Structure 1
Amino acid sequence: MKLPELDLETIDRVIEMAWEDRTPFEAIEKQFGLEEQQVITLMRREMKPSSFRMWRERVEGRNTKHLHKREFVAGRFKSDNQKT
């Protein structure tokens, strides 16, 4: 999967958002233009294999990582670093 050129600060922020349980992939896509599969590719490239496997186990099947699977939409904390 081809990734766009990203600076180190952007890569760090995407990784931070991907680790957050309540930040959906849709928010990452809206802010950085990276689809879910691109985020997974970035995480695989930037993390140690054991850390990547741990992250994949955390997010796999997690309802909060996908807006259409969430039971809530509004009223939750939003990071000041998040655009929308």
Structure 2
Amino acid sequence: MQMTTRQIDRIIEMAWEDRTPFEAIEYQFDLKENDVREIMRSNLKRSSFELWRKRVKGRKTKHQKTSPANRFRSQNQKL
């Protein structure tokens, strides 16, 4: 699937947000967590990617099943 720069930017933005689970990215862009990881790896500097991975690894709010919060929906997400 060919993605626009705008879509990639939005995926990166959602991936950095603490309260946006990977499931929301999957719902909106049909991308699994591994796909998001590859986008982040190829579009961020190595140090930024490593910082992001360290930040989200094991973070409960990045996975809807383990998140104590209700589903967060950005205004930019499709319904």
Report the RMSD for the aligned CA atoms in angstroms: 1.2
Q: What do residues 17-62 of structure 1 show as CA deviations (whole Å, max 9, x unaligned)?
A: 0000000000000000110000000100000000000000110010
TM-score normalized with structure 2 length: 0.93
Q: What percent of counterpart residues are identical?
A: 53
> Runs of 5+ in structure 2 lacking a partner?
none
> Runs of 5+ in structure 1 lacking a partner?
none
Q: What is the CA–CA distance in structure 2 between the aligned matches of 1:44 and 1:14, rounded to whole Å?
A: 12
TM-superposed CA distance for 1:72, in Å, is 2.4
Alignment counterpart, residue 51 of structure 1, candidates 28, 48, 58: 48
The one-letter amino acid of 1:65's match is: K
Q: What is the CA–CA distance in structure 1 between the aligned matches of 2:12 and 2:69, rounded to whole Å?
A: 23
1:1-84 equivalence runs, <5 A: 4-74=1-71, 78-84=73-79
Deviating 4+ runs (over 3 angstroms) = none
